[in-house]
Amino acid sequence: MNTTTIGDRMRCVREFRDLTQEELAEQAAVSVDTIRKLEQNRRLTARISTLRAIARALDVQLERLLGQPTVVTRDLSDNSGLIALRDAIQDVGSLPGLPAADDLEDPPDGTAWIVAVDEAARAYWAGEYAELSRTLPLLLRDGRAAARETPTEHVWRQLALAYQLAASFATQAGHPDWAFAAVEKQLDAARKASDPLMEGMGVSTLSWVLLRQGRWEQARAVAERKADSLEPSIRRATPGQYAVYGNLLVAAATPAARGGDRDGALELLNLAESAATRSGPISVYGSAFSVADVRTQQVNIALAGQDSDPDEALRLSARVDVEAITRPVHAAYYRVDVSQARYRTGDSEGALRTLLEVEAEQPEWIRLQTLAAATIREMLDAERRKNAPLRSLAARLGVDPTL
């Protein structure tokens, strides 16, 4: 079993960057004592906001410090599924200057393919990742063939949705570089579909990918600019326009909070909640939007940054109607946030109980969640006596219980 600690990985990257402990502490805006204790393994973890700041200062993804797997483990799907997804996104045959292949596949039945993409979107939000890893590469291949044979706006729009799913899934699996390439193709397909709202959803996905790459300022900027360009007219706007606009505001709020602009993030979410009130609960472009969805992000924002407030997060959680969240994965995200808030307010039992409930409902999804792993690491570090359920959960999620 690999027993490399967060401090070991942090020291390795810091020395590679040729930074002293004092320089790293200054750039991350954390105390040098925290840096020293982590590197000396006198502390085996830290708050997620502290680790995010250190990762940003080191110019690495948070997963690099946490030692999170960057591929889906074999009990979710075999690795060939992810390799096939990479090859489907980074399609060599589509590069300019290369001769066309002689064995291009026949185009699929258009109607069946469109239905299959909608089913893939449902599987993504249901957390059915093993199935998705098997089918998504084929959907991308068939979609390109359909677009060559029948390049209608409807086919291009559906291909854009398929690439959106590929970008989202690749990001979940720890491959934001693949995701960036998928978003490029999503935006290209949306342009060919002459669909500015699908382009808006593409930018929302791009913002999330940039966030996972640690590019907070860019993540916020692209989402805000696109939201401004799509701001709906109160008199003539459709529910779909309000939903895409609101999704972009939510996408901008998270990196704003990560960057320390809590007030700006809350203002963006207030605008998003107003948009959700006007749109009503709606499913659009493979996603969903509602007041409940926005309020879950208010809880997330309260936990973000160096001035995070878990008490405020729990207060805000009382406003969230969990039953109104139509996407199971989104509900799971929210409950992991609540678990983190409970742990940080002293309710370790409540935090563990929530994580176990989420695992029971989303066993494939939770294995890829950095925040869930970070919360478990904190709980392991603080336990005064061995907690069998906690250590068992840690083992199932790949968090070393011996740390």
Calculate the alpha carbon distances from 357 to 196, 360, 363 in Å.
39, 5, 10
Can you tell me the mean pLDDT for 119-136? 90
Who wins on pLDDT, 381 or 72?
Answer: 381
Give residue-wise pLDDT tens across range 308-356: 899 999 999 999 999 999 999 999 999 999 999 999 999 999 999 999 9
Distances (CA, A) of 383 to 2, 51, 380: 21, 20, 5
d(CA 123, CA 111): 19
The stretch 359-379 carries a mean pLDDT of 89
Give the per-residue pLDDT at 104. Answer: 47
Question: Tell me: the pLDDT tens digits for 213-246?
Answer: 888 999 999 999 999 999 988 678 899 999 999 9
Per residue in 285-318, pLDDT tens?
A: 888 999 999 999 999 999 987 778 999 999 999 9
User: Residue 101 — very low, low, confident or very high, per pLDDT cuts 50/70/90?
Assistant: low
What does R_g of the chain's alpha carbons equal in angstroms?
21
Residue with tokens 């989303």: 362
- In 3D, which of 236, 240, 265 has the Cα closest to residue 250? 265
Task: Give the C-alpha separation, 390 to 386, whole Å.
Answer: 8
Is the per-residue pLDDT at 1 higher than 60? Answer: no
What was the pLDDT predicted at 354?
A: 96
Q: What is the pLDDT of residues 33-80, one digit of tens each?
A: 999 999 998 887 777 678 878 988 887 777 677 765 443 443 444 444
How confident is residue 138, by pLDDT bands cut at 50, 70 and 90?
A: confident
Instruction: With residue 284 as reference, give the H or E element that holds it.
Output: strand 282-284
The confidence score (pLDDT) of residue 18 equals 85
Q: What is the pLDDT of residue 133?
A: 86
CA atoms within 13 A on the CB side of 299: 27
According to the model, what pLDDT value does residue 69 have? 44
Angle separating helix axes 196-212 and 153-172, nearest 10 degrees: 10
Residues of the chain with CATH 1.10.260.40: 1-67
Angle between helix 21-28 and helix 48-58 axes, rounded to 10 deg: 110
Cβ contacts of residue 32 below 8 Å, gap of 6+?
Answer: 21, 22, 25
pLDDT at 27 over 70: yes
**Model confidence, pTM:** 0.81
What mean pLDDT value characterizes the chain? Answer: 87
Q: Torsions phi, psi of 288, nearest 5? A: -145, 160
Q: Do residues 192 and 155 make contact, with C-beta atoms less than 8 angstroms apart?
A: no
- Mean pLDDT across the stretch 357-381? 89
Can you give the pLDDT at residue 208?
94
Least confident of 1-15, 146-160, 249-263, 348-362: 1-15
Q: Give the per-residue pLDDT at 403.
A: 47
Alpha-carbon distances of 91 from 62, 189, 377, rounded to whole Å: 28, 15, 38
CA distance 77 to 65: 24
* pLDDT score for 62: 73
Q: Which CATH number fits domain 1-67: 3.40.190.10, 1.20.5.510, 3.30.70.270, 1.10.260.40?
A: 1.10.260.40
